[in-house]
């Protein structure tokens, strides 16, 4: 493919056409969803690209990560594998009502699932390396940081440092889960460890009302644990449609997960019987595992951004314009490190737009409208478009809402899920004058 670099002036760049020469056209820090897509697509446009990534480990740290990033190694992929594993419980129960005679105990082997999950993420880590290699991208192992507008320093696992120059630098270092600052917080784990636990907990406490908390509650309950879910609001899944949040909450409860709305944890301590958990309502309970799913912090603190003039916000997310351009003209950032919509397909979209803008000669902004999103609770929730509240605001209350709850046919004879038999379809249309627009909005609640 012919090399097609953006002409100066279309999007401002640092070198100003002054003829400086660099080792690479693009140096990418972080080989997760955004970094891999950004480097491959740029290489496809003919750019000479290098990427650095930390050594592989299922649990991330400042010195450990791996090609593929959060989604592949400790996010979407391993989580979905555990969700599949957990969903079998209901299927086994239901099977009896469809005539299957299951004699004797059905035993469950957590270690087997964990082993298979690890094999799969190791395989995918290799796939990502191969994809990069086949695209002609140079891979460098180590922690990258920015030295100046065109120089990246990579600290390799043996401590040695190399410097590389590039016309453009793309930061795609993602984010990492953080622990809420309460006494005993070191006893809690994050989603990284939760996906790699040696033993399946019998009693699990989860703090957080977001999708990761809801998903782990479903996984652990499905695999047989007692689960207590604590969150600050009245309903889980803040930001989703209120009506659907209510449906999710009642389905979680229907599965036997104990919900504790508007409740926080104040202290954890170790006892002979496990971890003692104290709440802000003065309640105490015991747990084998306490998961904090209370948010993630952008990975920027080791990148030397301040010294180079790359602006970050109060939580450390890199500030970018609509083209993912930072405050330094030669430096760009995509994905979770910019804290826009923190989902894999969004990181991919931002990275594709970056590559098209900088190396494809076709400046294009990411489009954040109608990003579809799924919550892999059991049963799952999927969402696209506006929430009812957003639609009300946008159409100045001129909307029609249609909802329907119905019993899926499968549940008519299944005992296990019959009490959760609410399939839910919410269709909303609204009109904007002077021209009449009809916008579709649909939330579909479904069983597998
Ligand atoms: C438990 C969980 C479940 C999730 N489930 C979903 C889901 O179902 N669907 C969905 O769309 N999204 C999901 N996500 C979110 C998704 O994983 C992220 O939005 C996505 O991975 C962001 O991609 P990214 O490229 O910005 O960052 P990442 O994928 O995190 O990649 C960043 C990479 O940079 C590396 N890195 C960091 N610092 C340095 C450095 N100094 N030098 C070199 N390399 C560095 C890291 O090791 C990492 O590999 C989930 C996240 C979690 C935690």
pLDDT in tens, 195-213: 999 999 999 999 999 999 9
Is the domain of 412 the same as that of 332? no
Q: What is the pLDDT of residue 307?
A: 96
Is the domain of 222 the same as that of 334? no
Is the domain of 209 the same as that of 254? yes
- Domain CATH code at residue 413: 3.30.390.30
Q: For residue 349, tell me if it sits in a domain.
A: yes
Q: Inform me whether the pLDDT recorded for 323 exceeds 50.
A: yes
Q: Inform me whether the pLDDT recorded for 448 exceeds 90.
A: no
Is the domain of 216 the same as that of 302? no
Q: For residue 48, tell me if it sits in a domain.
A: yes
Q: For residue 350, tell me if it sits in a domain.
A: yes
Q: Inform me whether the pLDDT recorded for 160 exceeds 80.
A: yes
Is the domain of 93 the same as that of 146? yes
Q: What is the pLDDT of residue 173?
A: 98
Higher pLDDT, 170 or 374: 170
Is the domain of 9 the same as that of 130? yes
Q: Inform me whether the pLDDT recorded for 292 exceeds 70.
A: yes
User: Residue 329 C-alpha to ligand 1 middle, in angstroms?
Assistant: 25
Mean predicted lDDT score pLDDT of the chain = 88
- Does the annotation flag 210 for ligand binding? yes
Is the domain of 8 the same as that of 36? yes
Q: For residue 167, tell me if it sits in a domain.
A: yes
Boundary residue ending a domain (275, 294, 313): 294
339 lines ligand 1 (CB under 6 A): no
Q: For residue 374, tell me if it sits in a domain.
A: no
Is the domain of 281 the same as that of 192? yes
233-247 pLDDT per residue, tens: 999 999 888 888 888
155 lines ligand 1 (CB under 6 A): no
Q: Which domain holds residue 3?
A: 1-176+295-369
Please tell me the pTM assigned to this model: 0.90
Q: Which of 54, 59, 65, 70 has most ligand 1 atoms within 8 Å of its beta carbon, as the pocket-test mutant? A: 70
Is the domain of 359 the same as that of 286? no
Q: What is the mean pLDDT of residues 375-404?
A: 80
Instruction: Grade residue 5 by pLDDT with cuts at 50, 70 and 90.
Output: very low
Instruction: Grade residue 94 by pLDDT with cuts at 50, 70 and 90.
Output: confident
Boundary residue ending a domain (294, 326, 342): 294
- Does the annotation flag 214 for ligand binding? yes
Q: Inform me whether the pLDDT recorded for 397 exceeds 90.
A: no
Is the domain of 65 the same as that of 147? yes
- Does the annotation flag 211 for ligand binding? yes
Instruction: Grade residue 4 by pLDDT with cuts at 50, 70 and 90.
Output: very low
Structure tokens, 154? 């990579």
Q: Inform me whether the pLDDT recorded for 412 exceeds 90.
A: no
Omega before 363 within 30 of 0, i.e. cis? no
- Does the annotation flag 295 for ligand binding? yes
Is the domain of 192 the same as that of 300? no
Q: For residue 255, tell me if it sits in a domain.
A: yes
Domain tally, the chain: 3
- Domain CATH code at residue 154: 3.50.50.60
Structure tokens, 175? 């984010």
Instruction: Grade residue 386 by pLDDT with cuts at 50, 70 and 90.
Output: confident
Q: For residue 149, tell me if it sits in a domain.
A: yes
Is the domain of 65 the same as that of 162? yes
Boundary residue ending a domain (369, 399, 414): 369
65 lines ligand 1 (CB under 6 A): yes
* Residue whose CA is at the smallest distance from ligand 1 atom 47: 65
Q: What is the pLDDT of residue 415?
A: 61
* Residue whose CA is at the smallest distance from ligand 1 atom 50: 75
214 lines ligand 1 (CB under 6 A): no
Q: For residue 54, tell me if it sits in a domain.
A: yes
Closest ligand 1 atom, CA of 337? 26
Least reliable range by pLDDT among 77-86, 155-164, 365-374: 365-374
50-75 pLDDT per residue, tens: 999 999 999 999 999 999 999 999 99
Q: What is the pLDDT of residue 2?
A: 38
- Does the annotation flag 215 for ligand binding? yes
Q: Inform me whether the pLDDT recorded for 399 exceeds 50.
A: yes
């Amino acid at each position: 493919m012919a090399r097609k670099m953006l002409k100066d002036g279309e999007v401002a760049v640092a070198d100003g056409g002054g003829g400086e020469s660099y080792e690479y056209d693009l140096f990418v820090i972080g080989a997760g969803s955004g970094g891999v897509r950004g480097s491959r697509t740029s290489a496809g446009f003919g750019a000479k690209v290098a990427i650095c990534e930390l050594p592989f480990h299922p649990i991330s740290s400042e010195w450990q990560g791996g090609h593929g990033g959060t989604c592949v190694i400790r996010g979407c992929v391993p989580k979905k594998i555990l969700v599949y594993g957990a969903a079998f419980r209901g299927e086994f129960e239901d099977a009896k009502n469809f005539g299957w005679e299951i004699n004797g105990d059905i035993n469950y082997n957590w270690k087997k699932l964990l082993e298979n999950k690890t094999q799969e993420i190791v395989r995918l880590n290799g796939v990502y390396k191969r994809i990069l290699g086949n695209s002609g991208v140079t891979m460098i192992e180590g922690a990258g940081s920015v030295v100046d507008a065109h120089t990246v320093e990579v600290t390799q696992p043996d401590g040695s440092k190399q410097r590389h120059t590039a016309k453009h630098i793309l930061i795609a270092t993602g984010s990492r889960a953080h622990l809420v600052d309460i006494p005993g917080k070191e006893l809690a784990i994050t989603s990284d460890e939760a996906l790699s636990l040696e033993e399946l907990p019998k009693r699990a406490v989860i703090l957080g009302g977001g999708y990761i908390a809801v998903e782990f509650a479903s996984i652990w309950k499905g695999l047989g644990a007692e689960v207590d879910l604590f969150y600050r609001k009245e309903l889980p899944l803040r930001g989703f449609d209120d009506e659907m949040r209510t449906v999710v909450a009642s389905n979680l409860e229907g599965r036997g997960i104990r919900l504790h709305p508007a409740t926080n944890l104040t202290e954890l301590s170790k006892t002979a019987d496990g971890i003692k958990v104290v709440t802000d309502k003065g309640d105490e309970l015991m747990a084998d595992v306490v998961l904090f799913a209370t948010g993630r912090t952008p990975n920027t603190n080791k990148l030397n951004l301040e010294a180079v003039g790359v602006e970050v916000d109060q939580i450390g997310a890199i500030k970018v314009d609509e083209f993912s351009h930072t405050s330094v003209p030669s430096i760009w950032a995509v994905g979770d490190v910019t804290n826009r919509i923190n989902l894999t397909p969004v990181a991919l979209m931002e990275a594709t737009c970056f590559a098209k803008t900088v190396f494809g000669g076709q400046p294009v902004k990411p489009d954040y409208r109608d990003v579809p999103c799924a919550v892999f609770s059991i049963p799952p929730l999927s969402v696209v478009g506006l929430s009812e509240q957003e639609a009300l605001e946008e159409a100045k209350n001129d909307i029609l809402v249609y909802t329907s709850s119905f019993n899926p046919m499968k549940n008519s004879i299944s005992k296990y899920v019959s009490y959760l038999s609410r399939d839910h379809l919410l269709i909303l249309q609204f009109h904007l004058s002077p021209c009449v627009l009809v916008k579709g909005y649909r939330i579909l609640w479904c069983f597998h």
